[in-house]
Structures are given as C-alpha cells and as structure tokens.
Amino acid sequence: AIPDWPISEAGEILNIAAASDDQTLVVSLTGGAVRWIDSVEGSQVRQAFGAPGGATSLSFTADGRRLLTVDGTAGTVELWQL
C-alpha cells in the first residue's frame, strides 16, 4: 500500500527525487517547501523552505550527501547539506 504522505496541505507537487538510500524521497511544493519523506514509514523527516515559487528541479549529488534545488521561475539554485 502507498503511505498517506503529509504533503498535500502545503501546495501542489512540483518535483520528486529519490535518494540513493532507496528510502528517502524529497518533494518540492508550489509554496516553496522542500520536504524529506521516509518512503517506508510515510513520515516527514525534514522540511526546509527555498524559493517562494518552489523548486522546479531536484537532484542529489552522487554521494547522496547534498541536494541541489533549482527554481526555474526565479532563476535561483540552492545546495542543501543533508
């Protein structure tokens, strides 16, 4: 069964990225939130706020220790330490 992830109240989903641990998903939302979700437990692990328009692109570094977010509307790039 698919868990009921706590994301829908914060805006529409713009993008989803999976970490190399096969357990962590990162979801970017229209309100600017970036949420780390434990895909096994269905629980939110962390939340941060980036550009107000939301991250239109998400990508983990090869070592899985950082997340790159891009807001194509605002033209901003952020690198998050995990």
The DSSP result for 7-70, as a single string, is TGGG--EEEEEE-TTSSEEEEEETTSEEEEEETTTTEEEEEEE--TT--SEEEE-TTSSEEEEE
Q: In angstroms, what is the C-alpha Rg of the chain?
A: 12
Q: Spell out the per-residue pLDDT of the chain, length 82, in tens.
A: 445 555 556 678 888 999 888 888 898 888 888 888 888 888 888 888 876 778 889 999 988 889 999 987 778 888 988 7
pLDDT for res 58: 92
| CA-closest candidate to residue 58, choices 30, 28, 29 | 28
| CA-closest candidate to residue 68, choices 81, 53, 58, 82 | 58
16 Cβ contact list (under 8 Å, min separation 6): 25, 26, 27, 28, 58
